Amino acid sequence: MKPVSTSLRTCLFAALLAVPALSMAAGEAAGAAKAAKPDLVKGAATFAAVCVACHAADGNSAIAANPKLAQQHPEYLVKQLQEYKSGKRKNPIMQGFAAALSDDDMRNISYWVASKPVKPGFAKDKALVALGERIYRGGISDRQVPACAGCHSPTGAGIPSQYPRLSGQHAEYTATQLTGFRDGGRDNSLQMHQVAAKLNDREIRAVADYIAGLR
């Protein structure tokens, strides 16, 4: 076998060095693309075309059956849209809308509506609000129901990327979701199913009404 020439060895060595460098550059480019900021202008336009009829122009739905989206954590909104699209969270209307959205559309919409301030709500049922406050802040110890405030914070602000904002949400919507978690109609959170499974209808209404007035 003929010895490898010095120039050829130099070329081979350079090529070997280039492989990890190219891999690193590709990884950095992919990371940069993934971390790219959402396009709020596109988000506003898509929201106006797809979401405004049910959730209002600023994300503060005036229809109690439809949630307020304003100031919600964008990561939570993206997750819900993805789960509507995949069918993990079931709602015929939302599944239809989500099916037409790309991942970029979801991010743009979510970050845009999250930038809008939520309009405060208020509790309506004075007979239940005290019970709702006790459950929200202290849970129900004899049934091992944890305090809602532990995950969603005492003010209902939630924890970004982990637990949604609740404060000011329509009581009707919150009660429907808790009932769904309890009865199996909504099954995209085992944690919430385990909590709601221990609540009766009156306790659900009480917590939902209290949450509506949180700020």
- Axis-axis angle for helices 126-138, 201-212 (nearest 10): 90
| Tokens of residue 213, six digits | 């007035």
CATH 1.10.760.10 location in the chain: 40-114, 126-212
Q: Burial level of 44, CB count in 10 A (0-12/13-18/19+)? A: middle
pLDDT tens across 79-99, in order? Answer: 999 999 999 999 999 999 999
pLDDT tens across 45-84, in order? Answer: 999 999 999 999 999 999 999 999 999 999 999 999 999 9
Q: What is the pTM of this model?
A: 0.83
Q: Which CATH class is domain 126-212?
A: mainly alpha
**Which CATH fold topology does 40-114 show?**
Cytochrome Bc1 Complex; Chain D, domain 2 (1.10.760)
The answer to whether 168 and 60 are in contact (CB under 8 A) is: no
